Structure 1
Amino acid sequence: MEKFSTVDLLRDIKTVTMAADRQPVAITQHRKARYVLMTYDDFEAMKQKGDPRRAYGPNEAPPELAAMIGPELDRLIQEGSENNG
């Protein structure tokens, strides 16, 4: 992601907005990313996707997710029982 300072934004808004036309850009303040500038269309598309995170209860996870997570959970449980005794 390309970065511009708030000073860059104030001095040369055309360059910053042209960069934001290609992809979202970070606006920094005191060398720290503080804001993101993107096209309105990109913003709307992002809003439409929503938050993909979801919590599942017991036996609710899709099979492909359970197959991915199950072995790792088993490993962590085994590792924990070995460390505790």
Structure 2
Amino acid sequence: MKQFPAATLTRDPTSLKEAARKEPVAITEYSRPKFVLMSYDDYVALSSRAADPRRSFATGEMPDDIRKLALEALDQPYDP
């Protein structure tokens, strides 16, 4: 994730918006991430998935990113 100092909001908002159109970006204060700026479409996708964290999926309807995480977890050895 790219990071921009908070001063970029006033000094160069265009570059900040262009970067956020491509992927979420962190806005920093004193070199520490404090906020995230992202496109509205990314926000809607993220918030709709988070609406119910208990949601289960059938294999055929599982979003690609969740499917990838599930398959990676299945490949890991079981370590209680």
What is the TM-score normalised by the length of structure 1? Answer: 0.61
Q: Which runs of 5+ in 2 are unaligned?
A: 56-72
Task: Work out which of the two has the higher radius of gyration on C-alpha atoms and give 1 or 2.
Answer: 1
Closer/same/farther in 2, CA of residues 72 and 53 from structure 1, 3 Å limit: farther
* Partners of 1:29 and 1:36 in 2: CA distance: 12
CA distance in 2, matches of 1:19, 1:48: 23
Moved over 4 A (4+): 51-54
Matched, 1:72 2:79: yes
CA RMSD between the two structures: 2.7
Gapped runs of 5+ residues in structure 1? 55-64, 74-85
The AA in structure 1 aligned to 2:18 is M
Higher helix share: 1
**TM-score, normalised via structure 2 length:** 0.65
Aligned length: 62
